[in-house]
Each structure stands twice: as structure tokens, then as C-alpha cells.
Amino acid sequence: MTWRSARVIGLRDETATARTLALVVRDWPGHVAGQHVDVRLTAADGYSAVRSYSIASAPSSDGRIEITVERLPSGEVSPYLTQQVMVGDELEVRGPIGGWFVWRPEQLGPIQLVAGGSGIVPLMAMIRSRTSARSSAPFRLLYSVREPGAIFYRDELRALSSQGDSVVVSYAYTRVTPKDWPRPAGRIDAELIASGTWPSNLRPSSYVCGPTSFVEHTTDLLIAAGHDRERIKTERFGATGERK
């Protein structure tokens, strides 16, 4: 797998701390929703640092990919990508990487996505892949965020959710809820699993992505609700969070 040059062609803030970078990658071989890339930064003296980021965009054949990066206060790479990079800059990427936590349009069955925080990124690639492939696979997303301002892709998710045959989105707010929200702030619990996810008798395939404690907690709830553990795929990141 070789390093490829990638030109930054667009920047978009998702939240106060997260930014989407649109890249055009030279000779990009294409990807599947859920995969990630390595991004390499190199200092003038040759020192380099590499981190992995999930691809947020649907597969496409034009070499264009998007990644969404959450800024970590003590990070080495994420502050650069979210604050210093400008349109026109050249980065280096390698990939795509990962063949497990992926969704392909040939999968016709119901899909349950469960995201904690920036764990939404690879799941958004799956949602976008579904749209671009004109798939009619039934999708649901349960998305847990700290507070309303922490939602990535807010308008796009709202638009999808308001279309009839599309992706049903439910939110969980762990610290602060929107005004007049029917539930108090708190972690996902059995009640929210029951109301915000497919019933287990539909035998959905589930993809759960987020911080380790979130993934442990929600997969335990899914299994307690009768979901087969073999049909649950997970991707976790630690407090360092630079891999998603």
C-alpha cells in the first residue's frame, strides 16, 4: 500500500471541534463504506506523524474522499487537520484500510447503526453509500451525543430522516438535551434500545462505533434485547480517540 498525495479541496466545520476535509487523492483505488485511511504529516526536518481516520463519504470513482476529524486537545495530528490545514494544501494518505467494519450495497437486510460521538463517521459513510447506490435496505441510526451542538452532519441527517423511505434517526443526549426533549439527559438504556433500534426478530446486522465504554455498554444492551452477537460488528476508540 503506497502513500498517495491528497489535495485539500474543501473544509467544513461540523461542530466547534470537528471539521470535515474533502480530499482528492491521486490514483485513489476506491473504498467501501466503513473503511479508514492513514494520514501522514511531515515536518520540514523529515519528522512525520501518522493517524488513522474513518472515511465519511460514500464510495466514488473520482478520487474524492472526505474525512471528519475531531480535535483532541492533546492531539498531535488532529489540531493541525482541524485548525491549520487550508484548501489547496497537499497531505499524504494511504488506504483504504479495513475489511471487517464495512457495509456494501449488496447487503439487502435491515441495518442498525449505533454511534457514540465521533463514532458516527464510518456509519455516515454507510448511510451515504446506501443513498448513492439507491439501496432500499432498511436503515436505522441511534446516535448518542453529549449535547445538541455535538451532532455531526445535522442537516443531512434531518433531510434523510424526513424523507419517507429512508433512514430513521433517533438521538440520545448524555449531558444536555434540546428544549422540551421527552427524556432526561443520560446514557442509552434498555428503553431507548427498544424505541430507537430494530426489534431483534428482524435479525438486523448492527454496526456500533464509539468510545470503548460506549461500545461495551450498548452492545451489552443489544445482546440483552435479543440480538445475535454474531451479527454485531464493533469499532472502538480509546480516550486518545485518533482512530475511529
**CB nearer to other proteins: pick between 135 and 219:** 219
Asked whether position 44 contacts other proteins by CB under 8 A, the answer is yes
Q: Which of 9, 11, 40, 60 binds other proteins (CB under 8 A)?
A: 40
Which span sits near other proteins by CB under 8 A: 41-49, 150-158, 173-181, 197-205? 41-49
Asked whether position 50 contacts other proteins by CB under 8 A, the answer is yes
**Best CA proximity match to 115, nearest among 161, 159, 151:** 151
**CB nearer to other proteins: pick between 16 and 43:** 43
Q: Which of 11, 71, 80, 154 binds other proteins (CB under 8 A)?
A: 80
Q: Where are the alpha helices (DSSP H) in the chain?
A: 78-79, 120-132, 154-162, 190-196, 212-224
Asked whether position 239 contacts other proteins by CB under 8 A, the answer is yes
Counting Cα atoms < 13 Å in the Cβ hemisphere of 45 gives 1
Is residue 71 a contact partner of residue 160, using CB atoms and an 8 Å limit?
Answer: no
Q: Which class for 197: exposed (0-12), middle (13-18), buried (19 or more C-beta within 10 A)?
A: buried
**Contact residues for other proteins (CB under 8 A)?**
1, 3, 5, 40-44, 46-52, 76, 80, 84, 89-92, 97-101, 212, 216, 219-220, 222-223, 229-230, 232-234, 236-240, 242-243
